[in-house]
Amino acid sequence: MTAFKKGACLKRLIAITGAIGIGGVAFLYSGLYSMGADDPHYDITTWALETLRENSISRSSKNIEVPSDLDSVDRLLKGGADYNDMCAGCHLKPGKTESDFTLGLYPSPPNLADISRAGEDAQAADQRNFWIIKHGIKASGMPAWAPGHDDVRIWNMVAFLKRLPDLTEAQYQILTARGKSDEGHH
């Protein structure tokens, strides 16, 4: 290829890149993309956001040390009461398939009472759940609970999440009830 042809190709590449950049900026400022929670994203947008979210959470959570006592009854009871107070409105509980929040949020929060854990790496799931509860997820409605909750309290919720899909409605009610001494906890 001659120097002239290389220069012409480079100019075309710069022109095309510039046009795409200007078009992208114009689209951002146009207001044409619907941001209404009742209007789903384009498939490519959903794919890009989900891929970014999953890879970010996986990278960020992989070195978190999981406590050895996650299966303790104390953690289960404390985490259950917090889950009921802070999470069940969006992520539901046994016997419930929707709420006002689940109907109005986009993307819809997962029903954590109905998620099968079969085949899942338990440690990776615990790390992931801890990271999500602690840091939240941008633009999803999932808040970061770290500002008001220490790591012990967050691990208690992770302990509860491990058992949640296996609970009946009655078991859930028992495990999530707060005693008189717990009422000021939340």
pLDDT of residue 6: 77
pLDDT of residue 181: 53
Distance CA 41, CA 57 (A): 21
User: Superfamily for 43-179?
Assistant: Cytochrome c-like domain (1.10.760.10)
Q: Are 155 and 71 in contact (CB under 8 A)?
A: no
Output the CA torsion sign for 4, 9, 12, 17.
Answer: negative
3-class DSSP assignment, residue 103:
helix
Percent of the chain with pLDDT over 90: 72
Banded pLDDT at 183 (limits 50, 70, 90): low
Residue 7 has pLDDT above 60, yes or no: yes
Q: Are 62 and 123 in contact (CB under 8 A)?
A: no
Distance CA 36, CA 113 (A): 27
Express each pLDDT in 71-92 by its tens digit: 999 999 999 999 999 999 999 9
**Domain definitions of the chain by residue range:** 1-29, 43-179
pLDDT of residue 62: 96
